Amino acid sequence: CNEGECGACTVIMDGKPVNSCLVLAVEADDSDVMTVEGLGKNGELHPLQQAFLDEGAVQCGYCTPGMILGAYAMLLKNPEPSNAEIIDALEGTLCRCGSYNRIIQAIQTAARAIRGGIS
């Protein structure tokens, strides 16, 4: 859309979250790009994906890929975030369904699982 308003199209490009709607294909040339489909391994959901399901953090699902990938990038840098740090990291990703409390809860659940060695 070239607007960057909602963050739903977030992907990880060279280890950083970017709004894919703001990146031209030529800018991604030779970059490492991961979408939400790249998170799971061997048919298993990533702890973030599982936690979003377990905590009921998905309503319509429109924001979910962006939320999960934004959280993934944040957890790489900060594996034990406070709720305020989660809110700060995901401030550019909007949830029209207003599921923010459950999203934060899911990210905390996933963070604990990842720290516990489930990844």
Binding site for ligand FES (CB under 6 A): 58-63, 95-97, 99
- Within 10 angstroms of residue 62's Cβ, the number of other Cβ atoms is 15
Q: Between 71 and 95, whose beta carbon lies closer to ligand FES?
A: 95
Q: Which of 72, 57, 85, 83 is nearest to 114 (CA)?
A: 72
Q: Between 23 and 97, whose beta carbon lies closer to ligand FES?
A: 97
Q: Between 1 and 60, whose beta carbon lies closer to ligand FES?
A: 60
State the nearest-atom distance from the C-beta of 50 to ligand FES, in Å: 16
State the nearest-atom distance from the C-beta of 54 to ligand FES, in Å: 15
State the nearest-atom distance from the C-beta of 52 to ligand FES, in Å: 9
